[in-house]
Structure 1
Amino acid sequence: MSTLNKKILVISSDRNDIAFVEAAHEMGLYVICCDRYKDWRVSPSKMIADEAWDIDYSKTEEIAKKCIENNVDGVIAGYGEDRVTAACRISKRIGKPFYATEEQISMTRDKRLFKKMCEKTGVPTPKDYSLSGDGSENGFDQIVFPVIVKPSDNGGRKGISICNNVDELRTAIPYALDYSAKKKIVIEEYLVGIELCAVYTFSDGYISLSCLNDKYISEDTGGAKLCDAVLTPSKYYEKFVQDVHPGIVKLIETLGLENGMANFQLIANKNGIYAFEMGLRVNGNDDFKVIRKNNGIDFMKLIINYSITGKMGNDLAQDDPRFERYYGTFCAFVNAGTIGKISIGKITENENIYDITYLHSEGDVVANTGTNAHKAMMFKFVGKTIRDIQDTISFIQDNLIVHDIQGMNMLMKTFNVKRLD
């Protein structure tokens, strides 16, 4: 079935979703963007869509009715579980395919349920200290610090704290609960190591590991940890494939996932590799762009195709996580304030950089949340060696300017490229 001239509804319309609109247009689709904002400066994807609806995407029945009236052929979303859940509900209501069910999404977005699934399928996870999940102090005397506290049902590094003692833990618990719709939290051992992200694509029941990344998290002490840089392939690839991959495949099969994609967040250190989170959505670091550049597999287009036709449209034969070159992602974070100027100077002239994503623009007000809302830009690039990646990050940092309206530097501290050695 062709997608040409079909209509696709994209749930949410922020700067991330521009990638959905562009991909759908390349597939010949008529694109409608939908969220609650009437000020399209907040929803720039609406500006490049063929049509836009100013409706809160939580109003799934109202949107479904409008979809039926307008002969919408499919619904898609990414970057957040609430968006994906809304798209799933609307798809079901209008009788169109979606790559995951609401039950599957709920099972993966709840970190506590995810940990239980990992235990059943043999995927290692960090030690859990909060069996009740409600933040009660029962069992506090058994905790070995440091621990990480986070909401059980939220992503984007929202509501996360690192605690070194009971006093910090008591402060962190209500903070995490504020970000939890279910008012449930996770308290688990804080493992020191390298964060990893494993991205899987599946088509007609065939499960493929598409890439494994090393993620370099901000070294700032306290509070949430933001991802400064990503490097593919991971230095832990062989160990991951041997020790963790079989369990993850079993977990995906147990969930009954046959089409779509998933990303797994893990920690690696000398003692092993431990999974702590799973998402059935396009992730914030846009790993689909890296996979597309290396393998020619574009799972964003594949899940759009599934929403229209009920088929991914690719047997994944060319998918290969053993990258022959290094692929880097550098995230530029800014401090709270109002952005007055963004200048990238000579950065566009660097032949190693193949993608630049703006997540904020001049005039945007950045609140002090300690989350990925501080991410202003992402740069993606390639290199033959680690040194090439380091040089490119240094080049970006030397040439990127983000000032507030008083002309002061807004960029957070410089990333130390020697961490990539």
Structure 2
Amino acid sequence: MQIRLWDNNLKVRLVGEALFNMLFWMYFPFITVYFGAALGNHIAGILMTVPPIFGLVGSLLGGALADRIGRRPVMLLGASLQMAMFALFAMSSSHWVDYIAFIGIGLGGAIYRPASTAMVADLVPPENRRQIFATFTTANNLGAVLGPALGAIFFFHYREELLWTCALVTLLYLIAIYYVVHETLPTTVKSQGGTTSLTRVFKEQCKGYGIIFRDKVFLIYTLAGIFALVPIMQLDLYLPVYVINHVPAQALFTWNGDSLMLSSTEIYGWLLGFNGLLFVLFILPVTKWFNSWKERDVFILSSLLAGVGTFALGLNSNIWYLFFITIIFTFGEIVRSPVTQSFISRYAPEHARGQYLGADSLQPTIGKFLAPVTVFLSSWVMPMGIFSIILVFAFISIALYVYLFRIYVEQPHASD
């Protein structure tokens, strides 16, 4: 389905979300370092465990409201909250106000996303949805390539200007949503009114999480995923702390006696941009390469690459060595991405698929809650100790995946 044939709703969102995502990657990777420098790494590590909780609440709220009052109003609400929080962050002179603004930005994004995703499903026939979502993912990852390299300069030297730019872009996107994007909520989905419907949505979502404790296979799958995600999530948590504090400034290239020198902050920006570039270039080919692999083997390979690759970062601080290791742990993330959705959609019984997919969101939520422990411990533990802890998480996930597929072979269908 060519972009020129897309509905205007999708075209506006593709441009707006791609621009916003680039700005997002100009500040988000450096937030942990920013709060760590101001409040201490142990405090920053604790603080970074809180936003995922607000993100989960925001997703539940956004999803409930999207079916109750429509996609467009919820998208406007989420974008408005983000714009206001960016302005607050830009004007703030207190690190605690900065932190509140940071949480507010994440909450706004969490409210926005379910409605945005639902709008795609409303507008696009099932046979074209995968291609549409892949296009959005590619556009967002292009922002992840450019954003960190630019953010390494702008966030630390022109932070206020960067935040005001984010607020302005969000405002322009907000105006575009208001004037161009039309409502897509099917009339058959609208609620009958009353506050109980919203309460019922939350109760049903929480009830869905209880599936984890009734289904042993799903419980092991969820635990394995949580431990597997901890190493992958270090790219935005401990990796900037390590690179900025322990990797010296060095030359990227040297020619005719001249060299392109990069500071520690810029090195991290380049590594993060390289990670995004690898994702954009290889997500489709890698998916095809491993199409014939068993899910068990792909999950284990992913955990092994992510864990060993992250651990190997601490063995040498040469920039080209770091680029090489980035390839290893990035491929650990890439090979995992398509398999997680295929496993859960195939395992879940048809009558309870929504509950299983809802419960599956606990993997990244709990993973994001646990992953910042590395930043918290970095005030007392040497880097190789932190990298060893990350490697242990990966090995635990491998053991759980091995156990999972022993059970799954014996019980190929989900229990009712």
Is the shorter-chain TM-score for this pair beyond 0.5, marking a shared fold?
no
Q: Answer 1 or 2: which has greater helix percent.
A: 2
TM-score range, shorter chain: under 0.3
Q: Answer 1 or 2: which has greater strand percent.
A: 1
The one of the two structures with greater contact order (alpha-carbon pairs below 8 A, sep at least 6) is 2
